[in-house]
């Protein structure tokens, strides 16, 4: 039986990934410092193949012991998103970058690493240019910079894969209402209006469960895919902000869209992404943007607003 370590395993991605891998019979250890929600993995404690430890990845001496015990490592622990990293610059560098660089030093050449980067590192691209894995990263935010440096360290190892993830949407065990699709759907449902700025800025989107399937796909076909970078997104969802709002309005028809001028986004990103490389390995997304929007509407309609606060 393969031993899997997931750092940050109580998070939006980690809690879904741990659940998926446990269901496939793998032995999963989750490490998390419980910075946010504490209840996202309570359904797994009854499983004999699941272990949890409350540890901060900055505790290098302790982490080294866990790294050495596992065959497959998903280093998901991170401060995610430009706003959170700007508020916590020191922690962002220590968690997002330093812990990964140290982990890379500790691992043997036989251990697998599947690392989640962000495609926000493409920054602002030329309007007619499509970003693929050969496009140089040009991160603007501290978040993007730390993830770029970590990807470089990970790929210096032979037994690693880096996934450049599109902006995630969808319902998970842990809530993330700060993500753009989730946030827009929540506001359209609750307030019947969307106020946006820089409406023509583009980005790519992907459903949470499709990311989890991409992680599993990488592990299944690791020997074929290793030592490579893959964009992971929904190819039919390379959209501008205004296009995204219109997709939401198709379902929530009462939504009013207002464009605010003379305001800029601190997390500047404007790019069109190709996901062809990972699609050619046999992976494909299963959940359309419209289906994800309907899923979010169902969740937001069923629970109190306190369950979906923006600050996690």
Q: Where are the domains of the chain?
A: 3-169+204-235, 180-203+236-272+288-308
User: In whole angstroms, how large is the CA radius of gyration of the chain?
Assistant: 19
If one counts every other C-beta atom within 10 angstroms of the C-beta of residue 220, the result is 14
Mean pLDDT of the chain: 92
The SS3 assignment for 177 reads coil
> Over the stretch 168-179, which tens digit does the pLDDT of each residue have?
999 999 988 889
State residue 312's pLDDT score. Answer: 38
Contact 272, 131 (CB under 8 A): yes
Q: Which fold has domain 3-169+204-235?
A: Rossmann fold (3.40.50)
The SS3 assignment for 142 reads helix
Rounded Cα gap, residues 3 and 21, in angstroms: 10
Strands 130-131 vs 160-165: parallel, antiparallel or unpaired: unpaired
Contact 64, 41 (CB under 8 A): no
Which residue bears the tokens 């140290």? 102
State residue 15's pLDDT score. Answer: 96
State residue 304's pLDDT score. Answer: 60
| Low-confidence residues of the chain: pLDDT under 70 | 1, 37-38, 127-128, 265-268, 304-312
The SS3 assignment for 111 reads coil
Contact 106, 156 (CB under 8 A): no
Contact 159, 197 (CB under 8 A): no
State residue 138's pLDDT score. Answer: 86
Q: What is the CATH number of domain 180-203+236-272+288-308?
A: 3.90.25.10
State residue 309's pLDDT score. Answer: 46
Choose among 193, 187, 143: nearest CA to 165: 143
């Amino acid at each position: 039986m393969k031993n899997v370590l997931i750092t940050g395993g109580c998070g939006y991605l980690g809690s879904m990934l741990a659940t998926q891998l446990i269901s496939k019979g793998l032995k999963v250890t989750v490490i998390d410092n419980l910075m946010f929600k504490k209840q996202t993995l309570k359904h797994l404690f009854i499983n004999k193949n699941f272990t949890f430890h409350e540890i901060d990845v900055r505790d290098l001496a302790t982490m080294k012991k866990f790294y050495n015990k596992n065959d497959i490592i998903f280093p998901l622990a991170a401060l995610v998103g430009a706003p959170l990293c700007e508020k916590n610059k020191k922690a962002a560098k220590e968690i997002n970058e330093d812990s990964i660089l140290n982990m890379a030093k500790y691992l043997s050449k036989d251990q697998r690493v599947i690392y989640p980067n962000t495609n926000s590192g493409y920054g602002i691209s030329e309007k007619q240019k499509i970003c693929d894995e050969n496009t140089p990263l040009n991160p603007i935010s501290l978040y993007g910079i730390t993830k770029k440096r970590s990807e470089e360290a990970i790929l210096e190892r032979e037994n690693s894969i880096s996934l450049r993830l599109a902006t995630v949407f969808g319902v998970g065990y842990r809530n993330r209402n700060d993500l753009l699709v989730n946030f827009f759907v929540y506001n359209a449902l609750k307030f019947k209006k969307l106020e946006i700025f820089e409406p023509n800025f583009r980005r790519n989107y992907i459903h949470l469960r499709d990311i989890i399937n991409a992680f599993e796909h990488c592990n299944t076909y690791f020997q074929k895919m290793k030592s490579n970078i893959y964009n992971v997104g929904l190819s039919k969802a390379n959209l501008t902000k205004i296009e995204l709002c219109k997709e939401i309005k198709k379902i929530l028809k009462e939504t009013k869209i207002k464009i605010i001028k003379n305001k800029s986004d601190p997390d500047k990103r404007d790019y069109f992404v190709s996901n062809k490389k990972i699609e050619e390995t046999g992976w494909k997304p299963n959940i359309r943007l419209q289906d994800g929007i309907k899923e979010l509407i169902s969740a937001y309609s069923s629970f109190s607003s306190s369950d979906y606060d923006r600050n996690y």
